[in-house]
Amino acid sequence: MSKNRILYMSGSLGLGHISRDLAIARELRSQSDDLEVHWLAAPPVDRVLHEAGENLLPESADLVDENEIAEHAARGSRLNLIEYGLGLQRQWSRNVAVVDRVVASGGYDLIVGDETYEILIAYKKDPGRKKRPFVMILDFIGFDAMTRNPLERLGVHFWNRKWSSGMNKPADYVDLTLFVGELEDVPDTSFGLLLPNRREWAEKLCEFVGYILPFDPEDLQDRAFLRGKLGYDDRPLVIGSIGGTAIGKSLLELCGRTFPLLTERIAGVQMVLVCGPRLDPASLDLPAGVEARGYVPDLHEHLAASDLAVVQGGGTITLELTALRRPFLYFPIEGHSEQEVHVAGRLLRHGAGERMTLSSTTPEVLTNRIVANLGTAPTYPLIPVDGARIAAKKICDLL
């Protein structure tokens, strides 16, 4: 009996998508023993898939490197999402051609794309191009203008009009749209002038699965055990992390500048800064005593072991810290509407973390906030983290 074959394309900006995609893939296999998953993904996600022993297709080498485009579009620690999207859009046809080629030759039964907007738009323009059922995964709805620049506002309205069109029509270009999160995570605002309400649009077109984690928070409650396993002692531990791009270098160096101030106020404090796969730890200007690491597998274990984390405002790492109930300070990338509006809005709703702004934060200010939050015991509400199982069930129902 031949196995069902799924082509899974994971969005490669940072590392947040692949953690949930691997969790979904594991659930898919547990729910169906006659299933194969083949992957398309660009750096740095390809490294994670290799380490996980997954089947990464060689055509992945032909995909656009989204992180390179994002880092080129960034202005220091700022990244305007519309500007990044326009730069990426110019190369989207390349990714679509790769998917077309793989589908034509691979005998796949289903395509899953995690924030693969290029595939969604290509199928929307030409539904006949879609040869197999297509599942789209996303975790935010619509763009927001972050400045008064009329060109940015025009670009946001253009993209949101495209996003929201066809609200009441059957979607022959996508068979299932999964939203990672809850309905309340979608802003109860319109896409723009004379455009639909975002939350109403999402409620009609999306299936909400709750949140997806690559771990069970209950398994990571013994912090003493985790510290021993990871090589930490019982001194206060601050973890800093910027995710899968190099955009957060300034944030890590700001953390480093707090270290001499922290040592005056907290005896024995230790600081570990995680640069991720695209930033060389040796490139950081850090004082003695601060440890800088590159890519760290299973970073969530280090977060669970910490007394406080200082992170960028990415959707995945802040979700993990919320589920782990660890105190954290988060810095949304300025100009990045998903982090500044959608992720920050979710965290505010959950009462999780403390939001800060990199451009207005001095070492003294950050030191004060670290001292105030270090070692506290947050009481964030429990959040639904069974999303991988629910998403996998809905995907299997299409096979």
Tell me the Cα Rg of the chain: 21
What is residue 129's predicted lDDT score, i.e. its pLDDT? 93
Q: What is the largest CA-CA distance in the chain?
A: 67
Nearest to 98 by CA among 112, 119, 84: 119
- 14's tokens: 């940072």
What pLDDT is recorded for position 237? 98
Terminal-to-terminal C-alpha distance of the chain = 15
Provide the strand spans (E) within the chain: 4-10, 35-40, 55-56, 110-114, 134-138, 176-179, 207-208, 237-241, 270-274, 290-293, 308-312, 328-331, 354-355
Instruction: Name the residue ranges covered by the structural domains of the chain.
Output: 4-211+385-396, 217-373
**Calpha distance 385→379 (Å, rounded):** 17
- Rounded distance between C-alpha atoms, residue 275 and residue 284, angstroms: 9
* Burial tier of 197 (Cβ tally within 10 Å: 0-12, 13-18, 19+): middle
Mean pLDDT per 10-residue section of the chain, whose length is 399 residues: 88 84 97 93 92 96 83 73 71 91 92 94 91 95 91 90 74 91 97 95 95 96 96 97 90 98 97 95 97 96 98 95 98 92 96 97 98 94 95 95
pLDDT at position 221, please?
Answer: 93
What are 397's two structure tokens?
């129902």
The structural architecture, per CATH, of the domain 217-373 is 3-Layer(aba) Sandwich (3.40)
Closest alpha carbon to 392 in 143, 145, 147, 209? 209
Residue 55 structure tokens: 């089947």
Cβ neighbours of residue 331 under 8 Å, at least 6 residues apart?
248, 251, 310, 311, 312, 313, 355, 356, 357, 358, 361
Domains 4-211+385-396 and 217-373 share a fold: yes
CATH class label, 4-211+385-396: alpha beta
Q: At what angle do helices 363-373 and 249-265 cross, to 10 degrees?
A: 60
Closest to 329 in 3D by CA, of 245, 255, 227, 235: 255
In this prediction, residue 169 carries a pLDDT of 61
- Do residues 36 and 4 touch, judged by C-beta distance below 8 A? yes
Task: From residue 219, give the alpha-carbon distance in Å to each of 308, 324, 328.
Answer: 19, 10, 20
Question: What pairing do the DSSP bridges indicate for beta strands 4-10 and 110-114?
Answer: parallel
The strand pairing partners of 56, in sequence order, are: 39
Residue 161 CA to residue 142 CA, distance in Å, equals 9
Counting beta carbons within 10 angstroms of the beta carbon of residue 353, is it exposed (0 to 12), middle (13 to 18) or buried (19 or more)? buried
Predicted pLDDT of residue 170: 54
